[in-house]
Structure formats: C-alpha cells, structure tokens
Homo-oligomer: A and B are copies of this chain.
Amino acid sequence: MKLIGIADTTFARYDMGASAADELKRTGTGFRIIRSTVPGIKDLPVACKKLIEEQKCDIVMALGMPGPKEKDRMCAHEASQGLIKAQLMTNTHIIEVFVHEDEADDDRTLAFLADRRSREHARNAYDMIFHPDRLAENAGRGLREGFGDAKPL
C-alpha cells in the first residue's frame, strides 16, 4: 500500500485537491490518500515535508493558485524553491501543481484549467510511483498539463 499526500490551500479559488483525489481514484488502486490544507502556497513546502517524514507519504502533490500581482509571482517563486528544497531533503518527489490567475481570461476557463491540470498531474504522480515506464515512453514528447500538448520538434 503506497501513500500519496495531497497538500492544498484555503487561498486557492478552486478545490484542486478534490480534483486530484478524484482523478487518483479513477486511475488505479494500491494507495491511500492523506490530505493537508494550509493557508497559502508559502506554507506548502513544510506541509509537504511533514507529509513525507511524519506521515510517510511516497509522493506528494502540492496544489495552489498564486494571485495575479507581482507580489504573488514572487510568492510562487519562493514556494517553488521551498518545494524543490523539501524534495532534496527527503529524496522524494513533490509534484507542484500551480495555476496562475493570469493564465486564463475568465473565471470559467480558470476553473477548467485548475481542474484539468490537477487531474493530469494526479496521473503523473500515480505513474511516478506505479508506472515510471510510462513517463520514460513519453520523454521529449512535449506533454503539457492543463492546456493542450505542444508539438514534438
């Protein structure tokens, strides 16, 4: 039985953690989900590290929605660096799933994007612990999570 952590925020305007959890369950079995919710994305790094070290998660998804201002972009940058550091300290993957408000022009598209990116990364997280070969088969294939894939060169 593997443990998959899902860490998300009260700041986000969409329940990305629910999308991720739902998609994981549709994708396969053999795992249990442990959730943790924090105020904002800068609280995610230590939340993920605790899921790994205290809850023994085999992989963690970190979901968040940085706001549209310059200050928010800086927050996202700080959170991302913390997530990378947390991974290096634990030798465990943390899949960052961030949706920036300025990635979509209206709320409906933003909700669509938040849901879809969470789901596509949930499948990535699943594959990383159960089927790493699936990722290997897609090396250099221009895959994108959320919007459409890019064309391989």
Q: Tell me the A residues contacting B by CB distance below 8 Å.
A: 8-18, 35-39, 42-43, 45-47, 49-50, 53-54, 71, 73-75, 77-89, 91-96, 100, 107-108, 110-111, 114, 121, 124, 128, 132, 135-136, 138-145, 150-153
When all copies of this chain in the complex are counted, the total is: 5
- CB-based contact B37/A135 at 8 Å: yes
Name the one of B71, B93, B132, B142 contacting A13, with C-beta atoms under 8 angstroms.
B142
In this complex, the member of A13, A88, A96, A132 whose beta carbon has the largest number of chain B beta carbons within 10 angstroms is A88
Name the one of B92, B132, B142 contacting A46, with C-beta atoms under 8 angstroms.
B92
A8 to B46, CA, bound (A): 21
Taking CB atoms, residues of chain B closer than 8 Å to A107 are 151, 153
Beta-carbon nearest neighbor of A12 in chain B? B140
Beta-carbon nearest neighbor of A145 in chain B? B39
